Amino acid sequence: MTDTGKISRLRYEEGCLGAHALNFIGDRWALLVVRELMFAPKRFQMIRAGLPGVTASVLTQRLTQLVQAGVVAHDDVLGLYALTDAGRALHPLLRELCRWALVMPGHDPRKFISISALMISISATVDSAGAAGSPLRAGFVSGKEGFEVALSTDGMPRVRAARAPAADFVLEGSGNALAAAVYGPGPVALASAGLIALRGDRSAAQQFTALFRLAPQTRSSSESPEVTEQAPGDSST
């Protein structure tokens, strides 16, 4: 177990489990660092490339804190940062944050999107009923990063890092261009406009991306959260 006495800046002196979790991952950029490492180990500069708004000093601080917390492991010889089991267990939390964001106003998809962010978001935006049992396999490449995406029997995307994806089709471009291919006009239109590269089965690419949209999705019964209800008129203030 992690020695919490060694964790930098314990901020919440509460017995609440949520507050306890935020002592580890609640600082600005911490969860986004986890996002960038969710599918593969990376060196410092590659992590920073996925977080263009963070300074080198702040990223160093966050990585140090996450290593101390047992969320990230650092290989001093190879210079690689990788998530521990505790870090990888945050994937559902990131997915649920994306789902929550879908009902909140003000999202601007024109702002920077890393390919790792896109790979997280597709789990929150998939039409799982329509995707269930689909044999389609997609490939995504952006710069030095690549991913293969298959669909499980319950319709959830299964993402695997792969520099050279083996798939029915491969889309290549910036994170924002790939997001536009998934959520916007579609890959064929963007490829025809020269905004992305599309290799492989164009029909499969259209079918696959049609399974995702930036709108709240119906959950499968296996992942429906427990419902709580506040009594009318009750207030904690």
Q: pLDDT at position 217, please?
A: 76
- List the alpha helices (DSSP H) in 157-231: 175-183, 187-192, 202-209
- Rounded-to-integer distance, Cα 163 and Cα 139, Å: 10
Q: pLDDT at position 232, please?
A: 58
- Rounded-to-integer distance, Cα 152 and Cα 97, Å: 21
CB 160 within 8 A of CB 152: no
- Rounded-to-integer distance, Cα 103 and Cα 114, Å: 21
Whether this prediction's pTM lies above 0.85 is answered by: yes
Q: pLDDT at position 46, please?
A: 97
Q: pLDDT at position 98, please?
A: 96
- Per-residue pLDDT tens, the chain, 237 aa: give them: 444 445 556 678 889 999 999 999 999 999 999 999 999 999 999 999 999 999 999 999 999 999 999 999 999 999 999 999 999 999 999 999 999 999 999 999 899 999 999 999 999 999 999 999 999 999 999 999 999 999 999 999 999 999 999 999 999 999 999 999 999 999 999 999 999 999 999 999 999 999 999 988 766 555 555 544 545 555 444
On the 0-12 / 13-18 / 19+ scale of CB atoms within 10 A, 209 is: buried
Q: pLDDT at position 237, please?
A: 42
